[in-house]
Amino acid sequence: MRVRMPPRQKLGTPPATFQELVFALKKYWSEQGCVLLEPYDMEMGAGTFHPATFLRAVGPEPWSAAYVQPSRRPTDGRYGENPFRLQHYYQFQVVIKPSPADIVDRYLGSLRALGFDPLTHDIRLVEDNWESPTLGAWGLGWEIWLNGMEITQFTYFQQVGGLDCRPVMGEITYGLERLAMYLQGVESIFDLTWTDGPLGRVTYGDVYHQNEVEQSKYNFELADVAELFRQFDAHELACQHLLEAGLALPAYEQMLKCSHTFNLLDARRAISVTERQRYILRVRALARAVAEAYYCSRESLGFPMLGGPSPPGTVSGPGADSQESGR
């Protein structure tokens, strides 16, 4: 696939607020041609869990997307007392498949758009290989350093759900809070300016501090362990039933619920070291099965995004009719 070389990105004005940073990244990646998505409406540990990354990495179809994903890591909660750690934070995720030859340059273009001149700031690509035991996924890439600070993870997916990635998806994950702290020169996440407009200045702390305090208390002290264990089993079972019905996407959501439930149990220290490994393997088994089911479902649709002739039944079949009548 030949990809047009983008013109050299002009140096942008550094975004002054948290939300302007999000706008700037959305605008940049929209101009690059990515599908802009909104966050997935379920709890997940990272933007990688969004179906727009995990599932779209499976199979031969091209895909590109950019979105903000709220990420929940219950064990990282610090009751709002640590200036750098949160149990709920934001990732800005970009995926392009196949990874274009100039994907690194495109990424560096986004830094220019944010006002970082690479001849002023020391930008480094430092080896960092990624592996997710729960997702049965791994890739090779870097963490990107800006004057010694890690601001992005960059990964070429090699395997997802145990399936080889052919073609390869390139994944770029910005840590929005860190980047914003750097841009705004503040020492605590809670001091970030979220917005500062005609209606006044609102900080990250105004928006999220109470949430950090209360959710930390829930994650570490109040989450009902027995009920969570029960839920884990129930979601696992539901996932398996949905897979038997050939419904990869609803099955995937049940896997996401398993994964988050596991994270909560982990935060409650309810899972011993040896058991921990077994739970990870249970989630991984689901992730693999979902990846395979998704591949099969796309295959039976004739991999529609490959741009070849659509197989009969996909355009004017019953699905299209029922959508019509549903309006």
Q: By the criterion CB under 8 A, which residues form the site for other proteins?
A: 1, 83-84, 98-101, 104, 117-127, 129, 139-140, 142, 146-149, 156, 158, 165-168, 170, 182, 273-274
Q: What is the DSSP string of 138-192?
A: EEEEEEEEETTEEEEEEEEEEEETTEE-SSPPEEEEEEHHHHHHHHHT-SSGGG-
Tokens of 271: 């899972």
The nearest distance, CB 202 to other proteins, in angstroms, is: 24
Closest to other proteins by CB, 17 or 99: 99
The CA-to-CA distance between both ends of the chain, in Å, stands at 38
b/e per residue 44-79 (b: at least 16 CB within 10 A): bbbbbbbbbbbbbbbbeeebbbbbbbebbbbebbeb
Distance in Å, CB of 68 to other proteins, minimum = 24
Q: Which two tokens stand for residue 15?
A: 């975004």
Q: Which is nearer to other proteins, 226 or 273 (CB)?
A: 273
**Closest distance to other proteins from the beta carbon of 220 (Å):** 17
d(CA 236, CA 253): 10
- The tokens for 160 are 């997802």
Distance CA 193, CA 14 (A): 13
65 versus 251: smaller Cβ distance to other proteins = 65
247 versus 305: smaller Cβ distance to other proteins = 305
Least distance in Å: CB of 142 to other proteins? 6
Which residues on adjacent β-strands are paired with residue 90? 70
Can you read off the two tokens belonging to residue 99?
Answer: 């990874």
Helix axes 18-31, 176-184, angle to 10 degrees: 120
- Cβ proximity to other proteins, 163 vs 234, nearer residue: 163
Minimal distance in Å, beta carbon 222 to other proteins? 24
Nearer to other proteins, 188 or 316 (CB): 188
The DSSP element (H or E) to which 271 belongs, if any, is none
Whichever of 80 and 139 has its CB closer to other proteins, that residue is 139
Q: Whole-number minimum distance, CB 87 to other proteins, in Å? A: 18
Least Å distance, CB 127 to other proteins, is 4
